[in-house]
């Protein structure tokens, strides 16, 4: 789509704001609190153990109890890359908090009382809580039966074995040769990050009912089709017997991208035939939260004196917790985050998902990218220091441009990051100078980052109604991001010449809408939008053909605009869309269109990627962030003084909505960078249990982000758009870390930069982070970890 074609109605307010402000919006948790049985999950209180006895007979007899389900009710394994998980711990407990039984009773208190009546005996087994321990030789295996797990996604050359859930590799060019060149400086860096909890205000929640042989789940989910398919698989049902609907969702950020709690409600509803609501308490929500994973990153580069990156290699360990889940898939992303942004002459990356006896991790806004960009940008600054080059100049020289190769050999199109860096310099030069004479330490940094739109299949149906309005039917969910309220009705309106107010958006319902991957990865506007455009194209063709007949004019001379169809250049000569739609009733019947979209597939270079689910990215998205910080040397407190973003949006369909996403995403990133910390207790459980101990940014901790949207980069998205909601969090950890590092003159290797962390760096209390992968250089696949002798090459 030519950028010169104006996109109509870029200012379009969200239609859900009025009710949300007044507390009228009914979220799943609001439906759940009256009129349903209430469910409670009995969870294991050890991290690793053998279940010797689990007797629920006494619990069944407790007052108010209507159903109790256990492992035998849901014996089927499911997962994302590997089917390694069951609904309930079966024979063995793998993390503290793993569900053992689910109970439905008239009240939550009764269900909890019944849980206490379950007779359970678990013999503790050795547990492993950190990745280094899990990969050490002789470590207790989280899945001793790993070899029997079914592999669900086919890739070439993945490694797995023992506590290594998945390994993917990238290899392009001769890295060994690059590192042995006489004219390069070798810079090696190590980084570590902890987990991040979503803390979305509405907990995950599900209401299940069973009628006419089918399950109906009302779920607070980002991915109704995933809930449908995983629930069916876990319970051994045909997916056709499961319907999922999703009302307004009170925040997700990835916590609701997988299917986690819904099957428990479903199993209970199946068991008793009554509707069952499952809403975890905040403490339960946190202890079982599919967090952004903790990760260890070891990276080194061979850089020439003039600042070219001759070779780069890295090993990234990602903690998947007790089950592989998203992390298996996310090993793929390292190639496109850590391996991106810069021109690399040769590159070798190893990305490993590692099992530990901790709660399973999951998806969180800009999965894998946030910490890999932190590592990459901090490493880049360390390189600049080593070779004595200005960090912005180094980035200008090395960022990917038109025709450059990504790590897997994909060819990037267009000069995007370069001009964005230029825009950032201009933004900076306009800013006022900050006072810096108050005894605090000042620092600033500019960072770059690469993300991509996770496209994937989507379906859309559009009905043109007899009154001239249109209804868009998809499985897309409004989780707060605004897509369903703003960009999608805007796109349909633009395609059909309507006002966006006249486009009704149907709430997600898997019985009404075709398949969709879900809300995540910045894909909704792009994938559902492209499917909607395709559906509208069908409608346009039908309308134009019909109008050509009625108006006695060739279809090519007609145009749709402002709710009318007229001859081009002769407004008012044709008819309204409403009258045309009514005419259609007599001639063709009601007019509708259906559309679909899937990733067109961009080529990687043959043989570069192994074990990847996505070897090249269809729509890269770039971001440049810049910040100024002040550090109090007495307390280690970091104040963010200014924050600036230049974001590649392809085309801004609704600038106000995008600005809102950027402000919110940056602030979530500030939490990750500065405040939000998860630490494990000795039993592997989180020490943070609520909003009191897990500190997310409050109003006084934030600044207004200065924003410039970069338009015009190539995109296959509808009207040239790219996803804009995912990427704002991408560079924040990096920008803050680099700025703080410059302020205090000490290398920053870990996030979050809480006041004690910063003060420890200032006082020299923190020893340099040593990541012990002695056998990791060179980062060759298959030379480790200890169980890799048994690793299999997965079919594909």
Residue 23 as a binder of another protein (CB under 8 A): the answer is yes
3-state class of 687 per DSSP?
coil
Identity of the residue, 258 or 665, whose beta carbon is nearer to another protein in the bound complex: 665
Judge whether 444 and 643 are in contact, CB under 8 Å. no
Stretch that binds another protein, among 330-338, 475-483, 526-534, 548-556 (CB under 8 A): 475-483
Q: Which one of residues 51, 100, 113, 685 is an interface residue with another protein (CB under 8 A)?
A: 113
Judged by CB under 8 A, which of 480, 514, 518, 521 binds another protein?
480
Looking at 1, 13, 746, 769, which residue binds another protein (CB under 8 A)? Answer: 13
Nearer to another protein, 143 or 198 (CB): 198
State in angstroms the smallest separation of the CB of 443 from another protein: 20
Residue the block writes with tokens 């009554």: 274
Residue from the set 34, 429, 556, 586 that interacts with another protein by CB under 8 A: 34
Q: Cis bond leading into 785, ω under 30°?
A: yes
Q: 498, 440, 773: which is closest to 635 by C-alpha? A: 440
Nearer to another protein, 61 or 765 (CB): 765
Residue in 406, 518, 522, 664 binding another protein, rule: CB under 8 A = 664
Helix (H) or strand (E) holding 119: strand 119-124
Those residues whose C-beta lies under 8 Å from the C-beta of residue 561, and which sit 6 or more positions away, are 497, 571
Look at residues 321, 276, 359 and name the one whose alpha carbon lies nearest to residue 44: 359
Nearer to another protein, 379 or 659 (CB): 659
- In the list 155, 163, 200, 447, the residue contacting another protein (rule: CB under 8 A) is 200
Please tell me whether residue 86 binds another protein under the rule CB under 8 A: no
Task: Please check whether residue 751 is in contact with residue 729, taking contact to mean a CB–CB distance below 8 angstroms.
Answer: no
Among 765, 789, 790, 796, binds another protein (CB under 8 A): 765
To the nearest whole angstrom, how small is the minimum distance from the Cβ of residue 10 to another protein?
12
58 binds another protein (CB under 8 A): no
**Is residue 741 within the footprint of another protein (CB under 8 A)?**
no
Based on the shown chain and the rule CB under 8 A, indicate whether residue 10 belongs to the binding site for another protein.
no
Taking residue 306's Cβ as centre, other Cβ atoms within 10 Å add up to 9
**Taking the complex as a whole, how short is the minimal distance between the CB of residue 699 and another protein, in angstroms?**
4
Return the biggest CA–CA distance within the chain: 83
Rule CB under 8 A: say whether 116 interacts with another protein: no
Among 168, 458, 461, 754, binds another protein (CB under 8 A): 754
Query: Does the footprint of another protein cover residue 290 (CB under 8 A)?
Result: no
Q: Of 27 and 442, which has the nearer Cβ to another protein?
A: 27
Rounded least distance, CB 674 to another protein, Å? 9
Residues 248-267 that bind another protein (CB under 8 A): 248-251, 253
Q: What are the residues whose beta carbons fall under 8 Å from the beta carbon of 314, sequence distance 6 or more?
A: 297, 298, 299, 300, 334, 338, 339, 348, 349, 350, 375, 779
**Minimum CB distance to another protein, residue 45 (Å):** 18
Q: Minimum distance from CB of 486 to another protein (Å)?
A: 9
Question: Residue 282 or 780: which CB sits closer to another protein?
Answer: 282
DSSP-derived 3-state class of residue 37? strand
CB of 610 to another protein, least distance (A): 37
Distances (CA, A) of 489 to 536, 697, 698: 12, 32, 32
d(CA 533, CA 638): 46
Q: How far apart are CA 304 and CA 178, in angstroms?
A: 10
Residue 64: CB minimum distance to another protein, A? 6
477 binds another protein (CB under 8 A): no
Residue 290 CB, shortest distance to another protein, in Å, is 16
- CB nearer to another protein: pick between 29 and 127: 29
The answer to whether 588 contacts another protein (rule: CB under 8 A) is no
Q: Which is nearer to another protein, 291 or 302 (CB)?
A: 291
Query: Which residue's CB is nearer to another protein, number 81 or number 660?
Result: 660
Distance CA 612, CA 602 (A): 14
Contact with another protein (CB under 8 A): which of 9, 45, 106, 415? 106
Distance CA 569, CA 562 (A): 14
Does 727 help bind another protein (rule: CB under 8 A)? no
Position 364 contacts another protein (CB under 8 A): no
Question: What distances in angstroms separate CA 319 from CA 328, 355, 479, 679, one per listed residue?
Answer: 10, 6, 27, 14
For another protein, which residue of 8, 10, 60, 64 counts as binding (CB under 8 A)? Answer: 64
What's the min distance (Å) between Cβ of 321 and another protein? 20
Beta strand residue intervals within 422-497, DSSP E:
441-453, 458-464, 470-473
**According to CB under 8 A, which one of 6, 21, 238, 774 is a site residue for another protein?**
21
CA distances to 61, 293, 295, 319, 657 from 131, in Å: 43, 11, 9, 7, 40
Q: Site for another protein (CB under 8 A): how many residues?
A: 82
Our finding on whether 562 is near another protein (CB under 8 A) is: no
Please choose, from the candidates 336, 344, 685, 330, the residue with its C-alpha nearest in 3D space to the C-alpha of residue 520. 330
Q: Which helix (H) or strand (E) holds 175?
A: helix 175-179
The DSSP call for residue 332 is G
Cβ-based neighbour number of residue 693 at 10 Å? 13
Q: Are 88 and 316 in contact (CB under 8 A)?
A: no
Residue numbers 231-250 binding another protein by CB under 8 A: 248-250
The label of the residue with tokens 């592989």 reads 324
Site for another protein contains 120 (CB under 8 A): no
d(CA 573, CA 565) in angstroms, rounded, equals 8
Per-residue contact flags (x/-) with another protein for residues 621 to 640, judged by CB under 8 A:
-----------x-xxxx---
DSSP state of 285: H
Interaction of residue 16 with another protein, rule CB under 8 A:
yes
Residues 409-438 that bind another protein (CB under 8 A): none
CA distance 220 to 6: 36
Residue 281 touching another protein (CB under 8 A)? yes
Residue 701 Cβ vs another protein, minimum distance, rounded to whole Å:
5
684 vs 785, beta carbon nearer another protein = 684
CA distances from 606 to 170, 408, 465, 616, 625 (A): 11, 8, 49, 11, 33
Q: Which is nearer to another protein, 280 or 611 (CB)?
A: 280
Establish if 573 lies at the interface with another protein (CB under 8 A).
Answer: no
What is the DSSP secondary structure assignment for residue 173, as one 8-state letter? S
The sign one gets for the Cα dihedral 245, 248, 250, 254 is positive
- Expressed in angstroms, the distance from the first to the final Cα of the chain is 36
Helix axes 369-387, 732-744, angle to 10 degrees: 30
Q: What is the DSSP annotation of 668-692?
A: HHHIIIII----B-TTS-BS--STT
Q: Report 504-533 residues binding another protein (CB under 8 A).
A: none
Which one of residues 3, 5, 17, 789 is an interface residue with another protein (CB under 8 A)? 17
- Binding another protein by CB under 8 A: which of 84, 98, 130, 202? 202
Choices 292-300, 302-310, 347-355, 700-708 (CB under 8 A): range interacting with another protein: 700-708
- For another protein, the closer CB: 517 or 758: 758
Site membership for another protein, residue 201 (CB under 8 A): yes
Report CA Rg, the chain: 27
> Any contact of residue 698 with another protein (CB under 8 A)?
yes
Per rule CB under 8 A, is residue 401 in the interface with another protein? no
Distance in angstroms (rounded) separating the CA atoms of residues 663 and 659: 6
In angstroms, the CA 746 to CA 766 distance is: 11
Q: Which of 118, 184, 199, 416 binds another protein (CB under 8 A)?
A: 199
Cβ 257 to another protein shortest distance, Å:
15
């Amino acid at each position: 789509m030519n950028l010169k074609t104006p996109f109509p109605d870029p200012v379009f307010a969200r239609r859900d704001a009025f009710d949300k402000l007044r507390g009228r919006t009914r979220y799943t948790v609001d439906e759940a609190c009256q009129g349903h049985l209430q469910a409670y999950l009995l969870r294991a209180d050890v991290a690793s153990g053998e279940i010797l006895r689990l007797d629920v007979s006494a619990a069944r007899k407790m007052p108010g109890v209507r159903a109790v389900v256990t492992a035998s009710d849901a014996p089927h394994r499911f997962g994302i890359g590997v089917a390694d998980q069951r609904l309930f711990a079966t024979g063995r407990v793998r993390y503290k908090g793993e569900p053992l039984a689910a109970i439905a009773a008239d009240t939550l208190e009764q269900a909890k009382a019944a849980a206490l009546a379950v007779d359970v005996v678990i013999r503790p087994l050795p547990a492993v809580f950190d990745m280094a321990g899990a990969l050490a030789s002789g470590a207790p295996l989280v899945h001793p039966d790993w070899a029997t797990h079914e592999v669900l996604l086919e890739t070439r050359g993945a490694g797995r074995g023992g506590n290594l859930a998945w390994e993917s590799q990238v290899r392009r060019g001769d890295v060994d040769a690059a590192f042995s060149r006489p004219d390069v400086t070798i810079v090696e860096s190590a980084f570590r990050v902890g987990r991040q909890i979503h803390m979305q205000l509405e907990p995950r929640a599900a209401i299940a009912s069973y009628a006419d042989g089918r399950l109906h789940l009302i779920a607070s989910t980002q991915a109704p089709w995933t809930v449908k398919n995983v629930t069916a698989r876990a319970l051994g049902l045909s997916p056709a017997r499961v319907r999922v609907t999703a009302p307004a969702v009170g925040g997700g950020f990835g916590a609701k991208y997988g299917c986690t709690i819904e099957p428990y409600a479903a199993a209970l509803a199946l068991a008793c035939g009554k509707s069952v609501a499952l809403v975890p308490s905040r403490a339960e929500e946190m202890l079982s939260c599919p967090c952004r994973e903790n990760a260890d990153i070891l990276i080194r580069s061979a850089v020439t004196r003039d600042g070219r990156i001759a070779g780069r290699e890295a090993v990234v360990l990602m903690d998947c917790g007790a089950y592989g889940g998203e992390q298996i898939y996310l090993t793929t992303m390292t190639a496109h985050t850590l391996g991106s942004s810069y021109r690399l002459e040769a590159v070798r990356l190893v990305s490993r998902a590692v099992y530990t006896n901790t709660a399973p991790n999951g998806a969180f806004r800009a999965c894998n990218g946030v910490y890999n960009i932190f590592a990459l940008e901090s490493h880049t600054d360390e390189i600049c220091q080593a070779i004595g080059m200005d960090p912005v100049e180094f980035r200008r020289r090395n960022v990917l441009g038109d025709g450059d190769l990504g790590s897997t050999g994909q060819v990037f199109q267009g000069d995007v990051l370069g001009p964005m860096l230029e825009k950032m310099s201009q933004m900076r030069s306009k800013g006022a100078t900050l006072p810096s004479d108050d005894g605090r330490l000042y620092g600033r940094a500019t960072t770059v980052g690469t993300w991509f739109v996770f496209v994937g299949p989507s379906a859309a149906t559009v009905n043109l109604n007899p009154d001239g309005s249109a209804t868009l039917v998809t499985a897309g969910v409004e989780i707060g991001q605004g897509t369903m309220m703003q960009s999608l009705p805007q796109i349909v309106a633009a395609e059909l010449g309507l006002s966006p107010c006249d486009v009704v958006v149907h709430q997600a319902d898997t019985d009404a809408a075709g398949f969709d991957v879900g809300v995540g990865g910045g894909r909704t506007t792009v994938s559902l939008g492209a499917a909607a455009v395709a559906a509208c194209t069908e409608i346009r063709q039908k309308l134009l053909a019909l109008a050509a007949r009625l108006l006695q004019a060739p279809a090519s001379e007609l145009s749709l605009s402002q709710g009318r169809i007229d001859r081009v250049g002769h407004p008012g000569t044709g008819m309204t869309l409403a009258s045309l739609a009514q005419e259609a009733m007599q001639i063709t019947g009601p007019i509708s269109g259906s559309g679909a979209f899937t990733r067109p597939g961009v080529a990687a270079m043959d043989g570069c990627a192994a074990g990847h689910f996505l070897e090249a990215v269809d729509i890269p998205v770039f971001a440049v962030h810049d910040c100024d910080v002040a550090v109090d040397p007495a307390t280690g407190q970091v104040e963010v003084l200014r924050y600036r973003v230049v974001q590649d949006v392809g085309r801004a369909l609704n600038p106000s909505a995008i600005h809102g996403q950027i402000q919110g995403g940056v602030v979530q990133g500030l939490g990750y960078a500065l405040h939000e910390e998860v630490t494990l207790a000795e039993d592997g459980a989180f020490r943070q249990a609520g909003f009191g101990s897990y500190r997310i940014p409050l109003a006084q901790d934030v600044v207004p982000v200065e924003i410039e949207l970069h338009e015009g980069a190539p995109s296959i998205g509808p009207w040239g758009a790219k996803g804009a909601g995912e990427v704002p969090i991408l560079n924040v950890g990096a920008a803050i870390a680099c700025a703080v590092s410059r302020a205090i003159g000490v290398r920053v290797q870990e996030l979050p930069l809480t006041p004690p962390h910063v003060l420890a760096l200032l006082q020299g209390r923190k020893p340099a982070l040593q990541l012990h992968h002695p056998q990791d250089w060179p980062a060759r696949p298959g030379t480790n970890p200890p169980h890799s002798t048994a690793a299999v090459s997965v079919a594909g």
